[in-house]
């Protein structure tokens, strides 16, 4: 398990961006928080402060919601044609690609993820999401419906439906994929014609604030997108509860998702949620061993394990168990852990001290309850929030490391004997249902298992495959609704039935 060391020099635009105290975007203007407060942003690779941003709270949320309401009901935005709206969304995608290196460095600096991953995945996928959703702006359609009214024989009617934007949307995004999650939320909302108050994660606000500048550069009217930095218990809670918000979209933990629902219930806001996961990853005895080892290692160690869909429960049929465990452990040993900005880094730090302590707490709990670490199992010494990539064995179904979402580079490997109902029961034995993986050469078994897994996504002989056209979301306590694909438009539109007598 190597530790990368050397960091690259930052792009001058990034250096200048983080040096300036960052403000809130409200009504097309960059403004200080009403309280005048700011808070520090930390580099998770060192624990050092890298920037200061405005600390928005309830008063700032109120200003932003009112600006979004004005933009939704008057001004240029509601008068734009769908084609004009689509061109703005497309232009935003173009601008993201034009600033790819700058955004990748901000993402790596702020979140800790490897710079090569940010360049190859996070930023291009964010741009692709806006390009994809731009095309839907002109394809949000209703239907004409022939109706027969029994109590009005002979009467003629023209009946049709309209799909209209839901209104002012409050969006709250997490820290694990800051830019990409902003795109997932903003793309369909803007394509549908909504206006937005976007609350960024306090741990990772930098790329979202830079995105706000690109939104202005693209030419979106003032107030269409408002961006607030602040803390969940103040700004986030105020956004979820604000009576001027028509719908709340949240990505984050299931625990916070439940609080969002409670706040939104006061005035029956529409709510969509993309929440936690404890995803099963199943390797059958006929799987391609090399493919399964590399794929299951990537399923848990990608993005430092800080993925809601991470394959954190690895079920391996008995005949392959020792080989798969040793293979994944060897993959873990080869991972170069270090600062995200080092081009040699393959896995960066946990995003914050809080998350670092959380993951270390789970490791301690697992070991104390009898689990064994084949590799890893502890934090790395020195500065920064680094945790070793870890493979656990000898676990029990009732252990916290099996039942609860760790959100770190920790996988529990569990043997099973037969491809039967007991395997399905074990894989589904969780309150979550976000994703799952299946590794086998038998396509019949693959699809049979996919049909029985209670997960919003099932990957077969692959993992972590995302596309703007492919819907993503969860069963059970992993959330409500779907991100991406045309399904996402359902979250930001509502249907109106119109019936005219002829």
* CA atoms of 464 and 466, how far apart (whole Å): 6
Residues listed for the chain: 502
What radius of gyration do the chain's Cα atoms show?
24
Is 255 catalytic? The answer is no
Residues sharing a CB contact under 8 Å with residue 3, sequence separation 6 or more, in sequence order: 336, 337, 338, 380, 386
Q: Contact, 202 vs 15, CB < 8 A?
A: no
Give how far the C-alpha of residue 22 lies from the chain's centroid of Cα atoms, to the nearest Å.
Answer: 23
Q: Exactly one of 102, 107, 274, 388 is catalytic; name it.
A: 274
Using alpha carbons only, what angle is made at residue 170 by residues 60 and 53, rounded to the nearest 5 degrees?
A: 45
Q: Exactly one of 202, 308, 405, 483 is catalytic; name it.
A: 308
Is 308 catalytic? The answer is yes
Q: Contact, 408 vs 362, CB < 8 A?
A: yes
Give how far the C-alpha of residue 442 lies from the chain's centroid of Cα atoms, to the nearest Å.
Answer: 32
Q: 5, exposed or middle or buried, with CB in 10 Å at 0-12, 13-18, 19+? A: exposed
**Cβ neighbours, 10 Å, residue 285:** 16
**Residue 122, both tokens:** 């996070």
Is residue 449 helix, strand or coil? Answer: helix
The full DSSP string for 82-142 is HHHHHHHHHHHHHHHHHTHHHHHHHHHHHH---HHHIIIIIHHHHHHHHHHHHHHTT----
**Residue 133, both tokens:** 């959703």
The full DSSP string for 399-414 is SHHHHS---SSEEEEE
**Residue 286, both tokens:** 């006929």
Active site residues: 274, 308
């Amino acid at each position: 398990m190597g530790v990368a060391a050397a960091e690259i020099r930052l792009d001058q635009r990034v250096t200048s961006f983080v040096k300036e105290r960052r403000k809130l975007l409200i009504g097309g203007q960059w403004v200080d928080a009403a309280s005048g407060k700011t808070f520090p942003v930390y580099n998770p690779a060192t624990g050092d402060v890298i920037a200061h941003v405005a600390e928005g709270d309830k008063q700032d949320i109120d200003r932003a919601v009112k600006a979004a309401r004005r933009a939704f009901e008057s001004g240029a935005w509601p008068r734009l044609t769908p084609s004009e709206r689509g061109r703005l969304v497309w232009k935003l995608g173009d601008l993201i690609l034009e600033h790819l290196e700058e955004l990748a460095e901000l993402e790596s600096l702020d979140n800790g993820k490897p710079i090569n991953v940010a360049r190859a995945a996070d930023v291009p996928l964010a741009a692709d999401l806006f390009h994809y959703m731009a095309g839907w702006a002109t394809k949000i359609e209703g239907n004409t419906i022939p109706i027969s009214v029994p109590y009005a024989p002979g009467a003629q009617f023209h009946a049709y439906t309209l799909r209209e934007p839901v209104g002012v949307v409050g969006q709250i995004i997490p820290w694990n994929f800051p830019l990409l999650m902003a795109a997932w939320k903003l793309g369909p909302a803007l394509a549908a014609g909504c206006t937005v108050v976007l609350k960024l994660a306090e741990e990772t606000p930098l790329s979202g604030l830079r995105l706000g500048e690109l939104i202005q550069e693209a030419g979106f009217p003032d107030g269409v997108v408002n961006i607030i930095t602040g803390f969940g218990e103040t700004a986030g809670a105020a956004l979820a509860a604000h009576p001027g918000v028509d719908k709340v979209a949240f990505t984050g933990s299931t625990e916070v998702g439940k609080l969002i629902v409670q706040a939104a219930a006061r005035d029956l806001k529409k709510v969509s949620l993309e929440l936690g996961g404890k995803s099963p990853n199943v390797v059958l005895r006929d799987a391609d061993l090399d493919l399964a080892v590399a794929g299951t290692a990537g399923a848990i160690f990608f993005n430092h394990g800080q993925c809601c869909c991470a394959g954190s429960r690895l079920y391996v049929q008995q005949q392959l168990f020792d080989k798969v465990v040793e293979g994944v452990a060897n993959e873990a040993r080869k991972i170069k852990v270090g600062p995200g900005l080092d081009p040699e880094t393959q896995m960066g730090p946990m995003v914050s001290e809080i998350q670092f302590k959380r993951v270390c707490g789970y490791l301690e709990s697992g070991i104390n309850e009898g689990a064994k670490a084949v590799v890893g199992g502890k934090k790395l010494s020195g500065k920064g929030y680094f945790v070793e990539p870890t493979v656990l064995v000898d676990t029990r179904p009732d252990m916290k490391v099996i039942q609860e979402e760790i959100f770190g580079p920790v996988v529990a490997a569990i043997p099973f004997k037969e491809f039967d109902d007991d395997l399905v029961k074990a894989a589904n034995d969780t309150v979550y249902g976000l994703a799952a993986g299946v590794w086998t050469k038998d396509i019949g078994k693959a699809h049979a298992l996919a049909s029985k897994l209670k997960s919003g996504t099932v990957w077969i002989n692959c993992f972590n495959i995302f596309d703007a056209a492919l819907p993503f979301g969860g069963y059970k306590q992993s959330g409500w609704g779907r991100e991406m694909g045309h399904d996402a438009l359902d979250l930001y539109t509502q249907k109106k039935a119109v019936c005219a007598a002829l």
